[in-house]
Structure 1
């Protein structure tokens, strides 16, 4: 990544996104001009190779840009997570050459937006429980089902849809304008309010055979796992971003706010919260960098290290943003300051792309496999 790109994205984040983040949150929409500027900067194809129209950034560079954007506006960063990580990366790794030629250049340039349609009313953490169905018919497939809580479905042009045929899960790219696709916008969310979340209803939707991603039966073991791996990496950096923003908020406020005749930042318990936030965000950033290096090396350890980074960074983001609200006191509970929004956004990170509890289970399973003694322990 060039210094010019980082400088340009930082300027965009600090002068455009940060001043308008509260507006996006309040109106529950990400303006088209913001998306257009993201596309012009190359953020929507950041990790896509140049030959497909992207910037070809490595995971570490992409993570750094994710932090810069996420510190300014979580909803804007979410478009990178959904479009770039979940959709583009999955298509890049698992799509046929024909499918890449058909979609990837437009997605990388941002002339078309993608979203990941996995969740359903009865399928959240249990991703294998999807009820949306597909049936092979002639040279294609017919899809029927109901997706819910799909970020950017309200404005996306292409949906990466996970469906099942009697337990055989597969993935398909579905164009928004395909007959039988109905979008129902949703609102009233705790965080990620400007991510155009919607329900997607599929009624006898005919998809050409070439829009099958990978192969029949690869929907869960390959497509979902690949998508969530890249999504978790992006979310890990999102946690760093929110924790860093919270740290800056509490330091700035504590240094200027006076109570009992001195700045509240002089009080030991406030200083403890600041020290904990700084320590935590530094550790989280290093975990993300480690995961990024392993991703770049295509190491077998990359997936688990990404789980660790996602779990830790989302957890410390929740703690740091809660402490920021505490330091700001009444102002921290008011939308006139960013602290309450940061706090709401941080909670979302503990749920999406695998809840903290699921991360704990996977991490513990890995720990037992690696570190449990093979010999029996005496009673």
Structure 2
């Protein structure tokens, strides 16, 4: 860790995150994966530790800076990707309400989300719509006028993290052809949630499918204004999610490095530990170098966000792109180093391998990010 580049406050926060994750999360991560659920007492512990909605300043307090938020995401990802994902999704919704909502919406939702009393989910993806978010098919129709009016939503959302347990859904729909965001409480008539189980990775993230069948909402369900859903609300939320995923992928890769070192030192073949074999040494060398380099990419993105630099979004894209690739390679090498034990379910590396693949899909696939970063590269060169 690049401690010299962190402020004393950031160093203190990092040590606190690390201690919390090692003691209260890591020992239970395999259980969350096996049971395909995150229990309520874990959510309560996250809230008590102040890890939910930390990017939003509480009354009389200050919000976490982006570098500190990244350090938290790395430690959560090092311990359990399901927990990191829960915190990220929670923060995506809470920050959207805080930034784009009215006073009543913020009062109703933000603090209860921070306290873990309201669980939130980000509902953008549909059965046939993933990366091309502009093509969402869920439709909203306005009914009535002013405060006496409201909206009716029809459509389906799929692959929604923590959809099985969320009390509040941030749902994106087409309103008169404009991408628009709505806050949909779970008890809304016409909303049905179907669990999705048996996933490859992130099994504890309790994914769900939402069926919206003439869901009637009041006028206070509208978040922001019509037409702001994709360009403003979804884009800023996804930027937060990508940032968390980038740091969390570094944490996952670091866990793979640690497991690989321990196993390669303990496993003896041909008269000595396999850590002394050149090809195994090469895998370890690549892991430790790439973890260090990719963390610096994440740090650069965090500093850019903290200073409001115009390229912060693209630097976050770079960090998420490279970190998700790193997580996959590190996890694959870790399984290889562990041999037959790597494909068993008794250790952690099999879970790391499954979770790592998901990192290349969520918050923008590798291929979409390559396209976006390719466009960014051309702009950099042609602009001087």
Q: TM-score range by the shorter chain?
A: over 0.9
Q: Deviation per CA, 1:212-268, whole angstroms, max 9, x where unpaired? A: 111111111111111111111111111111111001010111111111110000001
Quote the Cα distance in structure 2 between the aligned partners of 1:11 and 1:111: 24
Which residue in the other structure is 2:367 paired with? 357
Provide the rounded CA distance (Å) in 1 between the counterparts of 2:346 and 2:49. Answer: 30
**Distance (Å, rounded) in 1 between the aligned partners of 2:78 and 2:94:** 23
Answer with 96-105 or 298-307: which moved more.
96-105
Query: Partner residue of 1:287?
Result: 297
Secondary structure at the aligned position of 1:45 is classed as coil
2:271 & 2:217 partners in 1: Cα distance? 69
Bigger shift: residues 121-130 or 261-270: 121-130
2:66 equivalent to 1:56: no
- Give the C-alpha shift of residue 6 in structure 1: 4.2
SS at match of 1:43: coil
Deviation at 1:13, TM superposition (A): 1.5
Query: Is 1:73 the counterpart of 2:80 in the alignment?
Result: yes
Runs of 4+ in 1 over 2 A off after TM superposition: 1-12
User: Is it true that 1:235 corresponds to 2:245 in the alignment?
Assistant: yes
3-state SS of the aligned residue for 1:51? coil
- Per the alignment, residue 214 of structure 2 pairs with 204
The one of 142, 153, 156 aligned to 2:152: 142
Cα distance in 2, alignment partners of residues 292 and 92 from structure 1: 20
The Cα shift of 1:173 comes to 0.7
Alpha-carbon distance in 1 for matches of 2:255, 2:30: 14
Cα distance between partner residues in 2 of 1:182 and 1:284: 41
What corresponds to 2:313 in structure 1? 303
Partner of 1:377: none
CA distance in 2, matches of 1:32, 1:172: 26
Unaligned stretches of 5+ residues in structure 1: 375-379
Counterpart Cα distance in 2 of 1:20 and 1:72: 9
Q: State the alpha-carbon separation in 2 of the partners of residues 197 and 106 from structure 1.
A: 22
Cα deviation code 1:164-188 (max 9, x no counterpart): 0342110011111111111111101
User: Aligned equivalents of 1:240 and 1:208: distance in 2?
Assistant: 42
Task: Please state whether the residue corresponding to 1:172 is helix, strand or coil.
Answer: strand
Q: Give yes or no for the alignment of 1:171 onto 2:181.
A: yes
Contact 1:243 1:281 in 2 (8 A): yes
Partner Cα separation in structure 2 for residue 42 and residue 15 of structure 1: 16
Deviations 1:52-99 (A, max 9, x none): 8x8611111111011111101111111011111x21222222222222
Q: How does 1:1-379 map to 2 (within 5 A)?
A: 1=9, 6-51=14-59, 56-84=63-91, 86-138=92-144, 139-372=149-382
Distance 2:190 2:22 in 1: 41
For residues 313 and 16 of structure 2, the distance between their equivalents in structure 1, rounded to whole angstroms, comes to 31
Root-mean-square deviation (CA), in Å? 1.5
SS in 1 for 2:140: strand
Give the superposition deviation at 1:373.
Answer: 7.9
Unaligned runs of 5+ in 2: 1-8
* Alpha-carbon distance in 2 for matches of 1:286, 1:94: 31
TM-score (norm 1): 0.95
Aligned length: 372
Between 281-290 and 98-107, the greater mean CA deviation after superposition: 98-107
Q: Give the structure-2-normalised TM-score.
A: 0.94
Give CA-to-partner distance per residue, 1:308-365, whole Å, 9 cap, x none. 0000000111001111111111111111111111011110010011000000000000
The answer to whether the 8 Å contact 1:45/1:110 transfers is no
1:369 Cα shift? 1.2
